[in-house]
Structure 1
Amino acid sequence: MKTILLNIFNGRVISPWWILVIDVGISVNAFLIAFILRLNIQLSSYSVSELVFNGGWVCFVYLISFLLFRSYRGVIRHSNYNEFKLLAVACFAAFSFLMLTNTVLDLVNYHLFNVPRLVLIFHFLMTAVISFAFRMVVKETYSSLTKKNTYTNVFIYGAGEMGQITLEAIRSDKNNHYNVVAFIDDNSTKCNMNLHSIPVISWKKALHVGDDKNVGVVILAINHITVQRKHEIAESCLDKGWKLKVMPSVGNWVDGISNQNQIRDIRIEDILGREEIKLNQLQIMNGLGGKVILVTGAAGSIGSEIVRQLLRFPVQKIVMVDVAESALYDLQQELLLSHSDAPFDVILADVTNEYRMQGVFDKYRPQIVFNAAAYKHVPMMEQFPYEAIRVNIGGVKVLADLAVEYKVDKFVMISTDKAVNPTNVMGASKRICEIYIQALSQQKGVNTEFVTTRFGNVLGSNGSVVPLFKKQIERGGPITVTHKDITRYFMTIPEACQLVLEAGFMGHGGEIFVFDMGDPVKVDDLAKEMIRLSGLKLGEDIEISYTGLRPGEKLYEELLASKENTLPTHHKKIMIANVRRYNYALVNDKLKSMLLALKMENNQLLVTRMKEVVPEYKSQNSQYAELDKELVLK
């Protein structure tokens, strides 16, 4: 019997027209009951012809109202508040029309369609109530038939709009395995109340009663919550052994549809991030409005997020350049699905190819360039300095020179904190890039505003520790940490890219902007936190292995935002680095020689050239440390 009923429900055997017939049938029966009540069951005092005529008239009006408001079109087993409201409006509209008709007929003394008002009132109430009851019976029957024998008791943290959307998503999913036992809210006025027949309690009470209710999951469903508070909730859940999950805000829903599949595990980025950045939207909009924008390295973690951020503004076109074919294709497909009407073009090209890049500049005439194209992995660049010079330095020189030639308004280069007193090839290559575009911006006749932005490690970016630790946890470990005391500054990808946009339109040319990275985080603590968030225990389920510092790697990153080497701006998270200026002719000659030397010199000689341009570059834990001694002797 259960199988037959499920086939009926899931196969949509009950057509919307049958729902309409049932609603009209309810209206007919409600009219008969209303008349019986009105006449105190003394039907002999009223003629059958009048009863049929007036009943037909009333039910015809309700039929027209149902058709006009389409109250029968919903899927009954998934009836929600909006469909119940539509049914109520349809019934009330028919009732109001009949009452108005009675009033008009009384004024003209015409009694043919004049139904007693008390009958209309009884009929309206019964039609609405029985129609609601019919839908609720079907909805609850379906819910009972599809209810799983095993489910997890959950708390929904947040009794506001997002919390109610989460409840609806859970209840409407036939594969649901959650049983919501309570809402949690920090607003004391909401506590000790019921919402959708579910109690609302405080977080303190939830921690007290959660074990008794066998709670296994807490779903965070709040649009606006501080990172500190989110971290406190996560810590409490970990202590209690509860899994913490997140219902993303509406703008982050996959396919724009609310369902249980949107609920995801909490990520380390959620509790290590910082408060939402307030951007100068007007300044950025004025800078981007109607402009053609070139983004290089567009398929990378930073470049792709810059593209997503740019799509929020009324740009004329975004030209996305990258040499990584698969990643660029994935980005293209993502944008075709999420921003099908967005004006963008993708270009598969190498930024070091001057001929190809000149073709891009000549065709699109970009007014703004965001350069995120670079090699960034410290150990790889330590092993292959040739590529660091060819791509990082050579690519920036090609793009910067073309920006001047084609009179680009603004050129924003993405740099790194590793360019500060560099100890590795990658950091030194980025520092040379900074030196070149800063010197170029000081040249007479150069109208392009060259701006550099520096920041530290980005959570979740390709090749960063977070994705690496995730993979290692999925494989059962061990998690590899280079040193127990190593610390890094972290920032989320959206935060970094938002600050890039803000700084890009704050500068007027030649500035190097550094970002406030917050407090440093021990990578060892980060690994332990990720283990806990995964529901595992260190030492029992997974181990941490300490592998030693890699070539060129620092134990502690230098604090970028110190008062000694930065100047403040109007944005509290963005400072201007106070660095010395360089002579353009001298720098340009050295870079040309360095790029020409790629074809004939070995790694030792190439790194020596880098150290001559950046005297503060002192190799650490690296094969090139011997070069520092030789330079001192010279």
Structure 2
Amino acid sequence: MAYLVRFNFTLGFELNQFLVQIPFLLTITLFSFLLVGSYKSVIRHTGFTDVVNVFKSVSLIATSSVLFVLLNQSINILPGFTIPISIIVIHALFSFVALSGSRLIFKFSYNNLKCKLSASKNILIYGAGESGIITYNALLSNTNTKFNVVSFIDDDIKKKGKHINGVKIIPFSKVTTDYIQDNFIKEIIVASQTIEAKNLIELVDSLTDLNVEIKKVPAIEKWINGELNSNQIKQFQVEDLLGRAPIQIDNPNLLNEFNGETVLVTGAAGSIGSELVKQLSNFDVKKLILVDQAESALYDVQQELKQNGKKNYTAIVADIRDGLRIDSIFQDHKPTMVFHAAAYKHVPLMEASPYEAIKINVNGSKLLADTASRYNVKKFVFVSTDKAVNPTSVMGATKRMAEMYISCLQKESKTKFITTRFGNVLGSNGSVIPLFKKQIENGKALTLTHKEITRYFMTIPEASQLVLEAGTMGKGGEIFIFDMGESVKIYDLAKNMIKLSGLRFPEDIDIKITGLRPGEKLYEELLANGENTLSTYHKKIMISKTRDLDYKQVKSEIEELCITNRFQNNNIVMKMKRLIPEYKSNNSDYEKFDKRVQTYKKAKNIAGSNNKSKTLGSI
């Protein structure tokens, strides 16, 4: 080929010389390919490195040939033997193009034929940037499932009408139902890493109507060794639909706060408690004390710590209502910090059992806080809930009472008592999201209490970070809350979960409205009436300023409530309503007591005014 091109596609060269040059060139070529090893590559998986190796081989052939020809001209090793330098250069160019080009042609032909002859998924990739290209390569290298990338979706004007590896880039406006049906699209993978959370929700909403499965490429930091594997491309998670970016806490003091401390965590087997334990185990703590009454779940947490090579922990099965048991734990292990996450949290169950709610959420918290104060623990961090704000349920009221008792104790204790308040935790035991997932898996209708119900959501790691940050930032007496963005409408969330599962609403799975449960709110609040906030170093974290309390009277009434009224639910609820003015029952049998409490307070205020008048008159 080199000679034909050199001599204008004619045989204008000496055939005898050509026949001598061929064995020489074959010898040089054999030596070069053996030395570089370019022949070892699997052709159907040819990549940039393989093309570079071909270039090395060809360069070695050309260089060796030129050097031998020049050397032969000087010392005449083979008399009369020569190869024109122009022929060597042209031959090298042809060799490189032929060897690398044939590999690439074979690779693309193999992949295209494989996609057409074998069952494959037609997909679209949203985002034609670097992440989109990496996603494309990861899909093509998958050996289990065959993917056929039909198009990239990108609205960047600079990319309009262009191709990536032969795949066309189209604007989002062209992705219509007809386009999906005509191209038999099964999946749309969102590869863009720069899309904002709100825009992501709008995108998902618009895509779910196209009746295709939607998946998402994980964040770059979650790629394995910096490389994306197609198995990492998963369906959208609920946290992707929160409408806000995950809250990140970057406080350097957090690294030193727990060094050398003996930390006790109650409710250590629960959703928040177990995550707290997991994160605390990464700090240089002196010892971790894990307390929970659920022995099977506690065993699981213990085994996870053991498998991760953690040694500085002790798991204890104990009930926080048992004052003597708690005292013995403090006496034996001498904790310097306490994170109190143990509680009864299910609203309908606690509405039916106020006595049990008081025993755990109030009396248990009281006993633990009293013990921590008695042993001069440095910090006591209490995990509360947004249901404690203007409570409408027994559970919310008991958590508010625990907040109030801890505030009272702060006035007379050296221990710094700190409270954290946040909304619903995604994936926690008994929350609505796992319930929806289970119902979708079973093909059953999703059950929702009210079409207009809204909730604030946060992830388990976010909640745990807030609790740890409170332990670092708190000076005593604060209630820390998150700016959690906009509340999420559960009905919309349920619809998106159905659609993101590749099912149709309501054809495949419907949503059944069951009515509000006893004590349930339509919407949650993070601040009570009469509260405002103070800012902190982090723009997403605030401190709630609660209303003033008559600390001696409140503490006395809570103590009295904890030791009396056994199984007398009506008396318990009446006393809680008198103690918490903002507690108004909703959709509950206890609504009848709200008017009685108002009448009682009016009578009390009148009596107080009369006594005051008599005193002034006598003066």
Cα pair 1:273 1:491 within 8 Å, conserved: no
Query: Is residue 462 from structure 1 mapped to residue 429 from structure 2 by the alignment?
Result: yes
| Deviations, residues 534-592 of structure 1 (Å, cap 9, x unaligned) | 45555544443333322222234345388953333343332222214557666665555
Query: Is residue 235 from structure 1 mapped to residue 205 from structure 2 by the alignment?
Result: yes
Unaligned runs of 5+ in 2: 605-619
The 3 A distance-change label for structure 1 pair 121 and 506 is: farther
Matches within 5 A, 1:207-226: 207=176, 209-226=179-196
The 3 A distance-change label for structure 1 pair 361 and 201 is: farther
Task: Measure, in 2, the Cα distance between the counterparts of 1:91 and 1:281.
Answer: 54
Query: Is residue 376 from structure 1 mapped to residue 342 from structure 2 by the alignment?
Result: no
- 1:277 maps to what in 2? 247
Query: Is residue 63 from structure 1 mapped to residue 30 from structure 2 by the alignment?
Result: no
* 1:72 Cα deviation from its structure 2 partner: 7.3
Unaligned runs of 5+ in 1: 1-32
Provide the secondary structure at the position in 2 that maps to 1:571: coil
Provide the secondary structure at the position in 2 that maps to 1:451: strand
Provide the secondary structure at the position in 2 that maps to 1:517: coil
Cα pair 1:320 1:344 within 8 Å, conserved: no
Provide the secondary structure at the position in 1 that maps to 2:145: coil
| Deviations, residues 312-361 of structure 1 (Å, cap 9, x unaligned) | 77767765544444544555666777xx4566747252351556656766
Which of residues 404, 413, 416 is equivalent to 1:435?
Answer: 404
Cα pair 1:458 1:492 within 8 Å, conserved: yes
Which of residues 517, 521, 525 is equivalent to 1:554?
Answer: 521
Task: Measure, in 2, the Cα distance between the counterparts of 1:128 and 1:291.
Answer: 67
Provide the secondary structure at the position in 2 that maps to 1:223: coil
- 2:315 maps to what in 1? 347
Task: Measure, in 1, the Cα distance between the counterparts of 2:526 and 2:416.
Answer: 27
Cα pair 1:328 1:346 within 8 Å, conserved: no
Which of residues 471, 476, 492 is equivalent to 2:438?
Answer: 471
Deviates more, 1:392-401 or 1:350-359: 350-359
**Greater Rg, structure 1 or structure 2?**
2
Normalised by the length of structure 1, the TM-score is 0.76
Matches within 5 A, 1:47-126: 56=27, 59-60=30-31, 62-66=33-37, 77=44, 79=45, 81=47, 83-84=49-50, 87=53, 91=57, 119=88, 122=91, 126=95
Matches within 5 A, 1:480-629: 480-538=447-505, 540-558=507-525, 560=527, 565-582=532-549, 593-597=560-564, 600-608=566-574, 610-611=576-577, 613-628=579-594
Which of residues 424, 429, 432 is equivalent to 2:393?
Answer: 424
* 1:377 Cα deviation from its structure 2 partner: 0.7
Cα pair 1:423 1:617 within 8 Å, conserved: yes
Task: Measure, in 2, the Cα distance between the counterparts of 1:460 and 1:347.
Answer: 24
- 1:19 maps to what in 2? none
Task: Measure, in 2, the Cα distance between the counterparts of 1:482 and 1:146.
Answer: 47
- 1:206 maps to what in 2? 175
Cα pair 1:156 1:184 within 8 Å, conserved: yes
Task: Measure, in 2, the Cα distance between the counterparts of 1:549 and 1:350.
Answer: 35
- 1:4 maps to what in 2? none
Provide the secondary structure at the position in 2 that maps to 1:510: coil
Count of residues in correspondence between the two structures: 590
The 3 A distance-change label for structure 1 pair 138 and 327 is: farther
- Output the amino acid matched with 1:297: G
Cα pair 1:296 1:351 within 8 Å, conserved: no
- Output the amino acid matched with 1:176: T
Matches within 5 A, 1:281-360: 281-288=251-258, 293-307=263-277, 320-328=290-298, 340=308, 345=313, 347=315, 349-350=317-318, 352=320
- Alignment RMSD, CA only? 4.5
The 3 A distance-change label for structure 1 pair 37 and 542 is: closer
Cα pair 1:291 1:368 within 8 Å, conserved: yes
Task: Measure, in 2, the Cα distance between the counterparts of 1:331 and 1:103.
Answer: 75
Query: Is residue 162 from structure 1 mapped to residue 128 from structure 2 by the alignment?
Result: no
* 1:248 Cα deviation from its structure 2 partner: 1.8
* 1:487 Cα deviation from its structure 2 partner: 3.2
The 3 A distance-change label for structure 1 pair 123 and 357 is: farther
- 2:149 maps to what in 1? 180
Task: Measure, in 1, the Cα distance between the counterparts of 2:135 and 2:227.
Answer: 12
The 3 A distance-change label for structure 1 pair 213 and 440 is: same
Provide the secondary structure at the position in 2 that maps to 1:617: coil
The 3 A distance-change label for structure 1 pair 408 and 84 is: farther
Cα pair 1:99 1:120 within 8 Å, conserved: no
- Output the amino acid matched with 1:488: R
Deviates more, 1:534-543 or 1:464-473: 534-543
Normalised by the length of structure 2, the TM-score is 0.78
- 1:397 maps to what in 2? 366
